[in-house]
Structure 1
Amino acid sequence: MNNARALELARRHGELKARIDQQRRTLAAQTQPVAQALARGDAALRGVDWLKHHPAAIGAAVAAAVVLKPKRAWTWGRRAFVVWRGWQSLKNRLSPSG
């Protein structure tokens, strides 16, 4: 192989590597929203999984609703949900990936 041919192949190789690198960056940017949506879905599934493994928590919530009367239990449930959502939001803002 002559020197000009080797230089041409090396140049072409460099161009292809740069093109591949750009395509990878573009793909990563385009799939980021999908990755975020999947992460939220995974978090929801972890919550469901936790409830499956801790049925006593559901029993305690039902017992509290019966003892506190439904209206009061609903009020406290909403408060707890607001606090939980605030905690989740704060945790997501402070995490290195979010």
Structure 2
Amino acid sequence: MNQELIDLAVERGRLIERISSQRQRLGQELQPIGEALQGADRVLASVRKGCGYVQEHPEVVAVGVALLIVVQPRRVWRWSKRGFVAWRTWRMVRSQIADLGLLTPRR
């Protein structure tokens, strides 16, 4: 019986060592993904900060849009149509993803 406990302790030690090496290897293999996600987090933080600025200062956006309309209305109209199509497409895709249960619906 005492030998069984020793064998179990030895096996436990081996398993703990194997788990430790697997964790270390996994950390090394996932490092590039972590770096990419940090970059994505920085971009997302910048976008949120920009959205916050726009919400706090809508007059700046209005002046910018008015200036664009005065300067080149044709180009503004073309990009407005593209933006509208992109927005509608995003809403449709988001709705489909929500229907699959991968995202909570937001309306």
- Please give the TM-score of this superposition, normalised by the length of structure 2: 0.51
Unpaired runs of at least 5, structure 1? 67-98
The residue aligned with 2:6 is 7
Are 2:45 and 1:46 aligned? yes
The residue aligned with 1:16 is 15
CA deviation after TM superposition for structure 1 residue 9, in Å: 0.8
Distance 1:58 1:13, change over 3 A: farther
**In structure 1, distance between residues paired with 2:38 and 2:58:** 25
RMSD across aligned positions (CA): 2.7
- Please give the TM-score of this superposition, normalised by the length of structure 1: 0.56
CA deviation after TM superposition for structure 1 residue 6, in Å: 1.1
CA deviation after TM superposition for structure 1 residue 4, in Å: 1.2
Runs of 4+ in 1 over 4 A off after TM superposition: none
Distance 1:58 1:16, change over 3 A: farther
Unpaired runs of at least 5, structure 2? 69-107
Query: What number of residue pairs does the alignment pair up?
Result: 64
Amino acid at match of 1:53: G
1:42-78 Cα offsets, whole Å, 9 max, x none, are 1001111111111249938x5xx99xxxxxxxxxxxx
CA deviation after TM superposition for structure 1 residue 32, in Å: 0.8
**In structure 2, distance between residues paired with 1:39 and 1:20:** 26
CA deviation after TM superposition for structure 1 residue 3, in Å: 1.3
**In structure 1, distance between residues paired with 2:51 and 2:44:** 10
The residue aligned with 1:59 is 60
